[in-house]
Amino acid sequence: MKLTLQNIALPLRDFVLELDVVLERGATAIFGPSGAGKTSLLDLIAGWREPASARITWNETLWEDAGAGVRLAPRARGIGYVAQDLALFPHLSVRENLCYGRKAGAPELFSYEHVTRVLEIEPLAERGIAQLSGGERQRVALARALLSSPQLLLLDEPLGSLDAALKGRILPYLARVREEFKVPMIYVTHDAAEARALCEEVLEMERGRVTRRVEIKDWRI
Amino acid sequence: MSGEEWRIVWFTAWVSLLAVACILPLGLPLAWALARREWPGKTLVETLVTMPLALPPVVTGLLLLKLLGRRGVIGRFFYEQLHIPLVFTWRAVLAALMVMSFPLLVRAARSAFENVNPRFEQMARTLGAGELRIFFTITAPLAWRGILGGMLLAFARSLGEFGATIMVAGNIPGVTATISLSIYEAVELGHDETMWRLLAVSAALAFGAVFASEWLMRRPAKGK
């Protein structure tokens, strides 16, 4: 993968998100305190927010060039986004949520059976979203993202809302997703242990800027 | 109730239902556009849509009479091209009810759409859905309570419409006589029993529609 974020400027409430980076690793952690602009960065990559200036390319494809007025629609970016609030559709069953992003006729990267087996959510298929526990919701959101056959996964504190015990149980699923499906991922977190467990490199962010960028093995906080 | 009174009640009920059905195809997309998009002239359109709530119904009726009459822009087209007269027929009743109930539907549906968390729509886009699919699978199902509540309010408003209807359709027994028009006439002629019976039916219908509407709109939609 090669995600190029050039000349980014996205005004937020208290500061401007400004960066210039090329991400090429299979799993990159974006690490920093809350309010550092991490979620805004993911939203920008997903095409949910309009920057003041930006040039974003994915491999050879131009996603965004604010100066030239180029904007690839979010639906065409092939992104699997597990947002912090998950945004599971509350009126649909687990199965309908999982299948929402599957494209009729298009070749699938991963099968429904494979994904639900790896994440151990097969028995939940007919349930409503309201009947799921916190950990189950996280896994369903992750599975839904994977089933849309993404070329890039954006994970926004996927364990943030879980207690320590549950985190310990869900983390291995994320590691399994990395091993099994090998979709490049950008992983936003403020928990160093998660970043170490899953990612190859880390970008530390503060007030909208990248303050440090290191390989995970060399990372000392 | 007499056969004639039943006919009046039936006529009022079905023409009111038809009016609600006729305003849906325009009202829902408009409500959605008001809730989810910014466009030039939006405030002007909002104002025009809401005008019938603020104008005296008689004035709205008079404007309709001018538009739908044989020399009016719309009326002439219907009369000369399609040979369909509008004013002082049931079609004029329908037109009056549509215009008078339109603002209620649009306002209710608009706030129902606004209450749907836009995150769901964004997520659906990222999952690859087009706007039409998002509307029918995400926005509308999450807003249905508010939309149905608005339809009931529009229906209730239609049942009770008087001022605009009498201007554009008159009160022609067996042709354009609605419950409200007939109550007025019964009072004028001193037909007390007819008046009381129609009054009771009218109150019962209005109570049912408004009660159901309140019940639907008060309960929060899932996923706020």
Residues of B in contact with A90 (CB under 8 A): 142, 222-223
Strand duo A201-206 + A53-58: pairing: unpaired
Residues of A in contact with B142 (CB under 8 A): 90-91
Note whether B222 contacts A100, CB cutoff 8 Å.
no
Note whether A73 contacts B124, CB cutoff 8 Å.
no
Residues of A in contact with B137 (CB under 8 A): 100
The C-alpha of B109 sits at a distance from chain A's nearest C-alpha, in angstroms, of: 18
HEC secondary structure over chain B? CCHHHHHHHHHHHHHHHHHHHHHHHHHHHHHHHHHHCCCCCHHHHHHHHHHHHHCCHHHHHHHHHHHHCCCCHHHHHHHHHCCCCCCCCHHHHHHHHHHHHHHHHHHHHHHHHHCCCHHHHHHHHHCCCCHHHHHHHHHHHHHHHHHHHHHHHHHHHHHHCCHHHHHHHCCCCCCCCCHHHHHHHHHHHCCHHHHHHHHHHHHHHHHHHHHHHHHHHHCCCCCC
Q: Given this model, what pLDDT does residue A165 score?
A: 82
The C-alpha of A90 sits at a distance from chain B's nearest C-alpha, in angstroms, of: 6
The C-alpha of A3 sits at a distance from chain B's nearest C-alpha, in angstroms, of: 17
Q: Given this model, what pLDDT does residue B222 score?
A: 47
Residues A38, A40, A45, A47, Cα dihedral to 10°:
160
Note whether A75 contacts B126, CB cutoff 8 Å.
yes
Angle formed at CA B101 by CA B96 and CA B107, multiple of 5 degrees:
150
Q: Given this model, what pLDDT does residue A103 score?
A: 75
What the block records as the tokens of A31 is 């690490």
Q: Given this model, what pLDDT does residue A180 score?
A: 87
Bridge partners, A29 (sequence order):
A187, A202
DSSP state of A149: -
CB B78 within 8 A of CB B85: yes
As a whole number, the mean pLDDT across chain A is: 91
Q: Given this model, what pLDDT does residue A107 score?
A: 72
For chain B, the residue count is 224
Residues B19, B21, B26, B31, Cα dihedral to 10°:
100
CA distance A155 to A27: 10
Q: Given this model, what pLDDT does residue A161 score?
A: 76
Closest Cβ opposite residue B128 in set A48, A89, A101: A101
Note whether A87 contacts B137, CB cutoff 8 Å.
no
Q: Does residue B117 surpass a pLDDT of 50? A: yes
Q: Given this model, what pLDDT does residue B223 score?
A: 43
Q: Does residue B144 surpass a pLDDT of 90? A: yes
Closest Cβ opposite residue A89 in set B120, B125, B126: B120
CA distance A70 to A148: 24
| 3 state SS of A47 | coil
- CB contact, 8 Å: B78 with chain A? no
Strand duo A185-189 + A16-23: pairing: unpaired
B219 confidence band (pLDDT: 50, 70, 90): low
CA distance B90 to B173: 11
What the block records as the tokens of B26 is 């325009």
Name the residue among B104, B109, B110, B103 with its Cα closest to residue B51: B103
Q: Does residue A177 surpass a pLDDT of 50? A: yes
- A31-74 pLDDT, tens digit per residue, is 999 889 999 999 999 999 999 999 999 999 999 998 888 999 99
Helix axes B140-160, B3-36, angle to 10 degrees: 140
Residues of B in contact with A101 (CB under 8 A): 127-129
> Phi/psi of residue A126, each to 5°?
-90, 0
What would the mean pLDDT of A195-215 be, rounded to a whole number? 94
Q: Does residue A100 surpass a pLDDT of 50? A: yes
What would the mean pLDDT of B188-212 be, rounded to a whole number? 93
Q: Does residue A105 surpass a pLDDT of 90? A: no
CA distance A46 to A32: 20
Residues of B in contact with A103 (CB under 8 A): 128
- CB contact, 8 Å: B123 with chain A? yes
- A70-97 pLDDT, tens digit per residue, is 999 999 999 999 999 999 999 999 999 9
What the block records as the tokens of A64 is 């965004």
* CA of residue A94 relative to chain centroid, distance: 20
ipTM: 0.91
Q: How many CB atoms lie within 10 A of CB A206?
A: 15
Name the residue among B133, B111, B112, B110 with its Cα closest to residue B121: B133
